[in-house]
Amino acid sequence: MPIVDSDPVGQRAPWPTLTHKASSAPAKRRILETANTLFYGDGIRSVGVDRLISESGVTKATFYKHYGSKDRLIVEYITGRDLMIREFIETIIANAPTPEHSILALVDMIVTAIEGPGFRGCPFINAASEFTDPRHPVRQVVADHREWYAERVGDVFRAAGHPLPGDAGDEFILARDGAMTGGYAGDSIAATTALQRAVERIIADTHR
């Protein structure tokens, strides 16, 4: 049976769906959305081009027209994740009444992700584990994302009056990493509870 350009059906990932601007080709958008689901759920290297094509509901010619190779799609996938999370975090921070509320709202975001359906850990840690060369474009996106995240949280702690905001940002990211990993590999309730306790201790330093 020939492949036709129809809407793909995939399991919902515990993150907002990656999308192109409305002007982008619908087929290209479907390929990226399918990659977002499959790469996160099953691992990047384990998902082949044929499966991407099949579950996107596009032809092989359409896939290569828009992406050229799986490697290019992988980089766009992780870059899209980066941009999506940055925008999401900035929205949370902007909508919080105080810096301390921003931190607590970020914790709630992490807890919601961990407790959500289809959670499989941090997509950036997962991607880094599959691409061991730190010079690889995927690792560069991951490194940039983590550096931005720690600095942005540090900015919030600085606004809250923390005496060592940079250290606080690093500690927050470490606690977040542990919760994301433990929440997937072990007891999600224990992981999220430990995250909340750790962040409460970091916040407490602001009031000393």
Q: Same topology for domains 26-70 and 76-206, yes or no? A: no
Q: What pLDDT score was predicted for residue 5?
A: 33
- Integer CA distances (angstroms), 131 to 33, 50, 137, 139, in order: 21, 21, 9, 7
Which has the closest alpha carbon to 176: 159, 158, 152?
Answer: 152
Q: What pLDDT score was predicted for residue 166?
A: 97
Q: What pLDDT score was predicted for residue 24?
A: 67
Q: For each successive 10 residues of the chain (208 residues), what is the average pLDDT?
A: 33 45 76 96 97 96 95 96 96 97 97 95 97 96 98 98 97 98 96 98 90
Ordered by start, the domain boundaries in the chain are: 26-70, 76-206
DSSP, residue by residue, the chain: ----------PPPSSPPP---TTS-HHHHHHHHHHHHHHHHH-TTTS-HHHHHHHHT--HHHHHHHTSSHHHHHHHHHHHHHHHHHHHHHHHHHHSSSHHHHHHHHHHHHHHHHHSTT--S-HHHHHHHH---TTSHHHHHHHHHHHHHHHHHHHHHHHHT-SSHHHHHHHHHHHHHHHHHHHHHS-HHHHHHHHHHHHHHHHHHHT-
Q: What pLDDT score was predicted for residue 88?
A: 95
Largest CA distance in the chain: 69
Q: What's the rounded Cα separation, in Å, for the pair 40 and 87?
A: 19
Q: What pLDDT score was predicted for residue 25?
A: 86
The domain defined by 76-206 folds into Tetracycline Repressor; domain 2 (1.10.357)
Domain 26-70, architecture per CATH: Orthogonal Bundle (1.10)
DSSP 16: P
